[in-house]
Amino acid sequence: MTWTLYILECADGSFYTGISNDLDKRIKAHNDGLGAKYTRGRGPVRLLASKLFESRSEASIAESLVKKLAKNDKLGFFK
């Protein structure tokens, strides 16, 4: 099973970074107010970038790295 690291832009301009094994379902959950606590009340969200990983472990490590980056540098991780 592959895992996806993704960055969303919230309606307030902030970014949210997460991982999922079903990206479409997860984005729908965020937009329905059922996703992460951070995105509730900040919707709608839109996908800015995503990257596939072979395992949850690899995706989690990458997520941790991206979350430590400055906002302006986060999208550069996906290039």
Interval 21-78: pLDDT, tens: 999 999 999 999 998 999 999 999 999 999 999 999 999 999 999 999 999 999 999 8
Sorted by where each starts, the structural domains of the chain and their CATH numbers stand as: 3-78 (3.40.1440.10)
What DSSP designation does 13 have?
A: S
Q: How far apart are CA 58 and CA 9, in angstroms?
A: 23
Three-class secondary structure of residue 46 per DSSP: strand
Q: Per residue in 15-32, pLDDT tens?
A: 999 999 999 999 999 999
This prediction has a pTM of: 0.93
Which residues, in sequence order, are bridge partners of residue 3?
53
What is the C-alpha to C-alpha distance for residues 76 and 2, in angstroms, rounded to an integer? 22
DSSP H or E stretch at residue 57: helix 56-67
